[in-house]
Structure 1
Amino acid sequence: MHKSVTAAVAATVIAAGLFTAAPASALPASTKVVGGERAPATSSVVQLEASGGDIPAGYVSTCTGEQITASWVLTARHCIDGIGAMNVYHSNSTVNRGTPVAVNRVTAAPAGDIALVHLRTAYALSSYTPLDLTATAKSSGTGTIQGYGLRADAVQSDGLYQATVSLTGASTDAFRGRAQHVTGVTGASNHGDSGGPLIVNGKVVGVCSTGDSADPGANTRAGSNYALLAQASSWIRSTAGV
């Protein structure tokens, strides 16, 4: 169900280790994956910045999202709960983020830690994030995670990072939905990576929901849970038209 971005949500869920509130004076607020490497500059993975609502005055919360059409961005449900307003930034840099695009609607999936945000003004990209809406949890193989979350030991970073992870079985997300558990190989998720993609075979299968630890520090082998898109496949198709 669509709701105005100015409407407060009754319950605010803060996923362990993956959702942060930072003073507005500290912007650019997003930082990145622990370990890993810089992601391609052409990525359609975007920065989300929320304020107002249940977020204390003078603070902002930061998350990661994937633009899937000119008007819709995919992210985690806990990134929209309790917010008053949200902006999307399309630069892969957290230092020079460019002009914000305001969000005018947010909508939560009927299952899982999954949400869509609608851009007030369409922002066309040369390509959009490809989705796999049928993938189930795997206990073998690898994937790639991307995000604007903190680097090792909570150090802020300068752009979008990515890392290789192992697919280590089924788990649950912040809303008790179906999730893919991952364990870091070259890096792990951290604060601010919420809503960021887990990419398997070139397509996004899930979005970052929770971490096994509230603070992974410099542990590039830390585990986390990615809400599987398959549990909300019909809703994603009907809402965003993909």
Structure 2
Amino acid sequence: MSYSIEIDQLSLSYKNTDFKAINNLSLKVKRNEVLGLLGPNGAGKTTLISMLTGLQRPDKGKIFIEGLETSANIHEIQKILGVVPQEYALYPKLTAKENLQFFGSMYGVDRKILKKRIDEGIEKMGLSKFSNKRIDTFSGGMKRRINLLAGVLHEPKLIFLDEPTVGVDVQSKHVIIEFLTSLNQAGTTIVYSSHLLHEAQSFCSRVAIIDHGEIQVEGATKDILVSEGRVKSLEEIFIENTSNSK
């Protein structure tokens, strides 16, 4: 079995406290999966992703990304990761194309290859006629599309997404999910964090619900939705297994 992510008994406490942000957490993500990492605010999702991307070190436990242990290989690992934050990581006074040229060059993508990827990406996002418009003239949905492109220009093997469709119009949401689906079908593993449970239910092949720094429910989406002889929604499963219901 090939895994993109392997987490073994991971723990992290807040500084000068005994409170564990992540508590003895283990999880495996297969290559080419779409994992929905779900949980209420403060559950530990952001902390976990920070450790997976090398921004924080765990107190104990091990993380392997594409077979490489993060503690010894984080710089090599970061080259194959794409991170798309909820906040726009864009320069408002630059055009869409200028933003993408900047981020692509930061990743070290060859200039000719980068131009081709930018042109193709902008076309797939339905923004070709806006490519030379400044980002500060874009709608929220258009910014989200460019924000996503900026994080994948180096064709990462593994992408972390934080609320990639929050606050966008229906058309932009459709374009973004369609684009992400095409990346996944081409072999990219995706870790998707969102509060949009209906979207997660249809988009994610696997789900892990985290609360109090621990995995409460984990499995193939189609399997965890069947409980006690009936089909439940992901929202029902979420409410039953997080602290707001206890």
Instruction: Name whichever structure is richer in strand by fraction.
Output: 1
Question: In which range does the TM-score fall when normalised by the shorter chain?
Answer: under 0.3
How high is the TM-score relative to the length of structure 2? Answer: 0.25
How high is the TM-score relative to the length of structure 1? Answer: 0.25
Instruction: Name whichever structure is richer in helix by fraction.
Output: 2
Q: Which has the larger radius of gyration?
A: 2
